[in-house]
Structure 1
């Protein structure tokens, strides 16, 4: 996912991300259409391959699951081209113009990026649920400031966001990584140039000697940066996959690999043709292999990224030496050259169209043919953007020759993008009417009384609680208290005590976020009954003794069983009177017979809980209505009934559910089924608005406000003996 395309006019080796060449600005301005002598058609072809691989992976094209490695190809290309430019400037002038460097990047990258940001915000406002607009606006601001990768990493590790759709601006993360690298890299090279001049320079210094010493210093810096980043990539990608995927700390070595080829370019030019040609084919083979062999299950970047990185580096390195019959024979064909030239715009446009295009076309479940149509539109937009925006601006003399003007233009574009982001974030939610629904207080009206009539509600009430905008924030207090343990934390938090602190009896709430959602009701029941409540919940961690795969960590969820063992050890000390255990049924189980493993795992866990002396209540899972409810209501404020879930489809794996209920009941656990509290079992529907209450904060988590109104049902199903009767 790359931010450069290239154009023969003002680019070094085959189209750099910033249209800077070895020729001085004046010379470039005089002959804007002349192709430099160091033009690299193999690099342009690599760009085409990279952007094609990325797009193929994103649209689900067969055998292209590893196409996301095209981003790594772009990183290596960028490291090579930018470093080549900087080294040529050092050789020419003995220094680096930092202002000139950033001015060229501003001219090259920002105009097209600003147009895509503005268009995406407008499309999101028109076609996506209004509830998503504030987050997308924040993404746009982060993209404009080149920190969107950090935002995505933080959001990606937030379990409360697990149900959120990907941002249509998510692909800007790679641009952010590159810009963060180039905040530091030119400054390091400038420091090297000044240090070399001080040590080996002087009136009588030999220019060739100074250049060799300076190059050696650059190589040392590169090795240090690359080795440190590669180490972090190899060691942190497995335990911390989200931050490792989006972070500069695990990606810098890929840019450094390209920079290393640039440093060694003089020596690489001496490669014999008989060696260069097969090396280029070998490199291309590695890049293609990465697309075919790597998939979403691969720990990435990790050491797996070495496949596309090494392949790209080999192609570029081999291309430094003149040879025939190399990979350029394929990469240099005219279609590949043109796609490579517009690859920056193509990369920018493709992802918003994938994310918003189906809504524009009114497609509920788009198929590959629909995505191919959308990619044709992306290609057209990329062509138009290149010829009407990118190329005219980056060859404009007034900007190319005067860095201050280019920087001013860049600052103006960033400011405009930020202003649009703020404007988008302030857009109000659509209001269907001023009608108010019956307020559920637990006194005058109850959930139980209104549930059966709630599936036919058409209008979102103006007094909806929580509001659609605030739905995702309506979570149990234990999240703020740190008692919902994060995925990557295997440690037990022993300080999560609630209820009556002076209570003589103890009830435990045990499970994942679907256990945590019941906290508002169970806590009040415990407090009213004079019981202590110990909360033991962990994100996506199932109660049953099974091995599971975590989609966020992208690996086996080893922290879950480790955490559960700690919980069981703690409960043996606490000796609780009652344990309420529940978990989301939708888990990816690692077993030959997942359904049987799930049921057997529940029985094993129930027996371990019973060994602590506790009476065990198995609280069956709540429904998943299949759509993000706040988003759906925001898009259908006058037709809220379309968001109502079908009971048969909302229950996850009904056969396994029934088998588990029967098995845990046979093991001695009390079974509590919340489906009648949440769904109209006669109509076979699961309402999403009951009275003035919003039932779900996403597709499957209940709002804390709604759960608080289920105290009568929970108190009846799980009776806690009042303190005065003890």
Structure 2
């Protein structure tokens, strides 16, 4: 492997063991574990992860600097091999066990997401997957997986890979200007750390204000936290302030960390400015304190219980979150106070066994000591975990799939709802076809992936489906949000059958109104809402001027937002006029307008989505039905606006009857899962409704 060399100047301060750092690790993992078991009690316990980042920057940078100065070189291969032997064997074991446990206890609808994140965790890119999901409209309702905590380990591993390369570059540049002294090399490293740390902090401040959901996970917003620890290591070189003033500073650092854990919450913009407090507190704990009994911070952190828990902290962190996520599926007492204490005791015991038999064994392995063998073990482990995570749920699903409702059955799909005398029960007999797990994946596997603009799309995206525009008999425009997109599996074949082009103008999370939001938010939210409003107004004008469009179909989610007047509004009800204004513009241009009613929601809060509920009640799909009175928790703006329209050429299509009968709305109808989440029509059910919707459009005169 590559090596950078210098002369061998005098060594820095002696590399002495610092037991208080293990105590600091114990504090970090305690904060995280308590936060995950009691999130409403210790609302900011997530700052424990930031403590780990600072400690890693402190120890790894000090270690690399000592290697360079004492040995005259930086052996990258040996450095990475040590990290592999120390960290990867246990992480592979936890991921493998979690992959098996997830298939054994979780609903099948969660298998695919868990599998995807296990693969990402094995490759140490989980933080980037979660960052992508944080702004992916289709993934926003996903439940936390049992390996989601690997995001922080992914950041750490990326740090271990990139950090020595950065320092390698500094050593190389220093060597090109002559043989550097230890002092000059140290000053160069400090300068570099100040620059990269300042850049990362500035980016973290900006990105957290702009998009906190993504900023929490991405690596660049966290680099400054490692740099803070690294600077503490290089500036003081292992020396610590232990006098009275230093001891006061150490206690102040502990107070800063604990204040963050108590006062912060999920609503705190983090990392950003808020991370400065726990990071400063951690640095203070690393460099200041005292060992005097009782009064010294280091004395408390150096006590045997603190250091033992610190020794177990890596294993505790790895094991605790899968237990938090999976235990409630197998034990009803898992969420009681006594149950949580018992689970924590089990985690500590499991972590102790893991440290002895996995961590210590592989860290000291002479067989794996050669760099090539360590790297080979890393690659083999990653491949094995990924293969297990992908193959296991697929093979189990294949083996356990029961008989399904035939698509040729007279009671398949909507027919079961429309024929109550001949088809009982509404849900249909047998397993749904396609399976609930397949339907759950439809949110991430759209049939028309290029037909929906995302939050941050600038301008208007037009998508053409149905018959080719040059040979069609006209066009139908589709305008709306992701719920309009969900109707495309019904509208596209309809357009094909009638030789019509389908012009799609949909945008996720963007209500099809020309009114403005009363509270558009700030940062990213403000920008996205502005793009939404501007795009909607351009679409209205474009469609009105398009002579090929004979009919406009509008569809949207139930809206819980309040809208205010826009330029040109004449009524005192912008909530209504934001919809009716473009409808009347299109009617005035000679087009027909068909407004699809908002569809009932099966859940509006933290309850399971339709596929998950059905997976949890495979023998009783009617258990997932909800009263119609509870299926419309938010404002039905389209229905309310349609009630004010008596214009010729306007038609309102009531969609409630597509999902509800006798006052109950269903998650499964005639062997088809009706929603791929809590409110979006599944591809299969939308396609099944295509003839019914075609009938509605024909009655409206939209189709000859």
- Give the TM bin, normalised by the shorter chain: 0.7 to 0.9
CA contact (8 A) 2:551 2:702 kept: no
> Partner of 2:506: helix, strand, or coil?
strand
Q: In 2 relative to 1, CA 194–613 (structure 1 residues): closer, same or farther, beyond 3 Å?
A: closer
Structure-1 separation of matches of 2:144 and 2:176: 51
Give the CA deviation at 1:80: 0.5
> Partner of 1:96: helix, strand, or coil?
strand
Q: In 2 relative to 1, CA 93–443 (structure 1 residues): closer, same or farther, beyond 3 Å?
A: closer
The equivalent of 1:9 in structure 2 is none
CA RMSD of superposed structures (Å): 4.0
Measured against aligned partners, the alpha-carbon deviations of 1:534-577 in whole angstroms (never above 9, x if no partner) come to 322222223465649999x9974641343133212331243176
Aligned equivalent of 2:633, options 653, 668, 684 = 653
Give the CA deviation at 1:74: 1.0
> Partner of 2:585: helix, strand, or coil?
coil
TM-score by length of 2: 0.82
The equivalent of 1:610 in structure 2 is 583
Aligned equivalent of 1:420, options 369, 373, 388 = 388
| Mean CA deviation greater in 245-254 or 645-654 | 645-654
Structure-2 separation of matches of 1:436 and 1:255: 56
Measured against aligned partners, the alpha-carbon deviations of 1:511-541 in whole angstroms (never above 9, x if no partner) come to 3222211122234445556665432222222
The equivalent of 2:8 in structure 1 is none
> Partner of 1:509: helix, strand, or coil?
strand
The equivalent of 1:264 in structure 2 is 235
> Partner of 1:168: helix, strand, or coil?
coil
| Mean CA deviation greater in 485-494 or 74-83 | 485-494
The equivalent of 1:251 in structure 2 is 222
| Mean CA deviation greater in 431-440 or 376-385 | 431-440
- The answer to whether residue 346 in structure 2 is matched with residue 377 in structure 1 is yes
The equivalent of 1:574 in structure 2 is 543
Q: Count matched residues.
A: 668
Structure-2 separation of matches of 1:59 and 1:102: 34
How does 1:420-569 map onto structure 2 within 5 Å? Answer: 420-429=388-397, 430-431=399-400, 433-434=402-403, 436-437=405-406, 439=408, 446=415, 448-449=417-418, 453=423, 455=425, 457=427, 459-461=429-431, 464-472=432-440, 474=442, 480-495=448-463, 501=469, 507-526=476-495, 533-543=502-512, 545=515, 547=517, 556=525, 558-569=527-538
Unaligned runs of 5+ in 1: 1-21, 25-35, 202-208, 592-598
Give the CA deviation at 1:274: 3.7
Give the CA deviation at 1:171: 1.0
Q: In 2 relative to 1, CA 90–411 (structure 1 residues): closer, same or farther, beyond 3 Å?
A: same
Aligned equivalent of 1:389, options 349, 355, 358 = 358
The equivalent of 2:163 in structure 1 is 185
Structure-1 separation of matches of 2:655 and 2:128: 39
> Partner of 2:469: helix, strand, or coil?
coil
Give the CA deviation at 1:264: 0.7
CA contact (8 A) 1:602 1:664 kept: no
Structure-1 separation of matches of 2:436 and 2:256: 48
Give the CA deviation at 1:83: 0.9
Measured against aligned partners, the alpha-carbon deviations of 1:388-440 in whole angstroms (never above 9, x if no partner) come to 3323443x363696555555554554454344334425423153544543526
Measured against aligned partners, the alpha-carbon deviations of 1:42-83 in whole angstroms (never above 9, x if no partner) come to x32332222222223323433422222221121111110111
The equivalent of 1:16 in structure 2 is none
TM-score by length of 1: 0.80
Structure-2 separation of matches of 1:148 and 1:443: 40
Aligned equivalent of 2:196, options 222, 225, 242 = 225
Give the CA deviation at 1:146: 1.7
Structure-1 separation of matches of 2:594 and 2:580: 12
Structure-2 separation of matches of 1:522 and 1:697: 18
Structure-2 separation of matches of 1:698 and 1:120: 24
Structure-2 separation of matches of 1:498 and 1:254: 53
Aligned equivalent of 1:584, options 549, 557, 565 = 557
Measured against aligned partners, the alpha-carbon deviations of 1:128-157 in whole angstroms (never above 9, x if no partner) come to 123433443333232222222233333443
Give the CA deviation at 1:210: 0.3
Q: In 2 relative to 1, CA 467–151 (structure 1 residues): closer, same or farther, beyond 3 Å?
A: same
Q: In 2 relative to 1, CA 393–524 (structure 1 residues): closer, same or farther, beyond 3 Å?
A: closer
